Structure 1
């Protein structure tokens, strides 16, 4: 029986002030004893130094860390060098992604990788089983996919290349997740697929993210959030209940863990973790 994994995600701050604030948030999140902290990596490596600084600091505290590694715009040599550094830090887990093309990057600057499955295969070839590799999954389909079948084929290629597990894009419809898992099982995909959980604290920000990444906000949730206007407390109270209920459905349905997108805010995660009675040891 697989032990459920409950993990959290951070993004590297761009300023010293932001890093100082993040360290305070991490100290709160660390009291929950998550399985690991993942650290995002900007388009084309745009936050490479921030990612490295954050990962280095987490490892100084002996916190299990899973750096994101986006391959667009990177060469094999750059990826090999970065992974070698991560090995010296004792990193055991990666989140392997294609990543987004940064604004202004031409086709000739894409680097040696075009898709995440190529990155997964490279890590397996160069480093064997030194890293456990997580990849992205899209229960509601990748926004750039031409159709659901092709989107699923792309996911299967990542699994066949050697992925150990997957973390989903966030969603608010549990049926989408369970349907995706069922489809995986029918296709012989048996890796753990961990739901990505996005707290609802700011409707404007959430709507912008969702429009970009293709995550659906169900109409009834949108209408309720729109109705609150600028009432931040009501948005947060309603959003908490929506996400709490979603997590309860996922856990009851056998999800192999939860991965919380913290947006570098500990309070919403601590509250959800506590009310869900998730393990802290």
Structure 2
């Protein structure tokens, strides 16, 4: 089995302790030579400044190819594009363009009166600058706000047509979920690469809650397996085995790239990558 190309997602730290954890995560995973690493935005744009600072620091200090998340939430067009310009000035040439989650308790996404109405408008504006490679999100299972799965695929095609060159999916638990989605996208005329997003489960309770909130189907066998593993104190062993098996099936199905949601905790992700034959290649620049 040929080792896959990999990428990682981090989130910006809100405390000093979290800053150390992020740096430890970057230090542990960067030797695996990721294609890119991305840094998220919080719901409602709550970590906008933290994201900008984290992206700038990683870009300057590590030599990694850093992709910044950028959303439409609670900002004017001018403010959003100004942030994009700041990313470009920091040497960041890759953006993950998303509509973004609305602020908690808001009842749903409402465009800013002077902002982008949706992700397609944001993508189009970023593409017009000519400064960025643009990635977007994709849903292998129905988005909670979508009318049906066909609407998700149609919306993804609109995002690609607006200027995105690649998509990264929400996480899922069974390889067939992604493979069916990939094939349906191809049938719809989508030719851009679609990268499966993989979540090595650090905490089943948290992952289960997250899955339910974003419409990810939880197979009964996965739920039962984690319940038993937690009782037997074998949670991490199961999580590593399931993530490795999932990735192996994806690779057998023709997948060449995998994107890992690390949650700023590197151990399980690193173990899965090693099991897939992804071995250390580089070390962080200018780090003793």
Taking structure 2 as the reference length, the TM-score comes to 0.90
Task: State the SS of the aligned residue for 1:169.
Answer: strand
Aligned to 2:53: 53
Q: Distance in 2 between matches of 1:274 and 1:140?
A: 28
Task: State the SS of the aligned residue for 1:68.
Answer: strand
Deviations 1:127-159 (A, max 9, x none): 12x211111111112121121122221111111
Q: Distance in 2 between matches of 1:210 and 1:111?
A: 32
Deviations 1:87-116 (A, max 9, x none): 112112110100011035584746512221
Per-residue deviation at 1:201? 2.4
Tell me if 1:117 matches 2:120: yes
Aligned to 2:220: 219
Change in CA separation of 1:28 and 1:114 when aligned onto 2, cut-off 3 Å: same
Runs of 4+ in 1 over 3 A off after TM superposition: 104-111, 228-231
Tell me if 1:134 matches 2:135: yes
Change in CA separation of 1:172 and 1:24 when aligned onto 2, cut-off 3 Å: same
Deviations 1:165-220 (A, max 9, x none): 00000011111111111111112111110000000221101111001111122110
Task: State the SS of the aligned residue for 2:258.
Answer: strand
Change in CA separation of 1:143 and 1:172 when aligned onto 2, cut-off 3 Å: same
Q: RMSD between aligned alpha carbons?
A: 1.8
Task: State the SS of the aligned residue for 1:58.
Answer: helix
Task: State the SS of the aligned residue for 1:259.
Answer: strand
Aligned to 2:229: 228
Aligned to 2:193: 192
Deviations 1:61-80 (A, max 9, x none): 22210011111222111122
Task: State the SS of the aligned residue for 2:176.
Answer: helix
Task: State the SS of the aligned residue for 2:222.
Answer: helix
Q: Distance in 2 between matches of 1:274 and 1:85?
A: 36
Aligned to 2:84: 83
Give 5+ residue unaligned stretches, structure 2: 282-288
Give yes or no for contact 2:76–2:112 (8 Å, CA) kept in 1: no
Task: State the SS of the aligned residue for 1:81.
Answer: helix
Give yes or no for contact 2:153–2:188 (8 Å, CA) kept in 1: no
Change in CA separation of 1:81 and 1:147 when aligned onto 2, cut-off 3 Å: same
Task: State the SS of the aligned residue for 1:228.
Answer: helix
Q: Distance in 2 between matches of 1:186 and 1:32?
A: 34
Aligned to 1:209: 210
Task: State the SS of the aligned residue for 2:234.
Answer: helix
Give 5+ residue unaligned stretches, structure 1: none
Aligned to 1:22: 22
Change in CA separation of 1:39 and 1:111 when aligned onto 2, cut-off 3 Å: farther
Deviations 1:231-276 (A, max 9, x none): 5x41111121111011011112111300000010011111111110
Tell me if 1:182 matches 2:183: yes
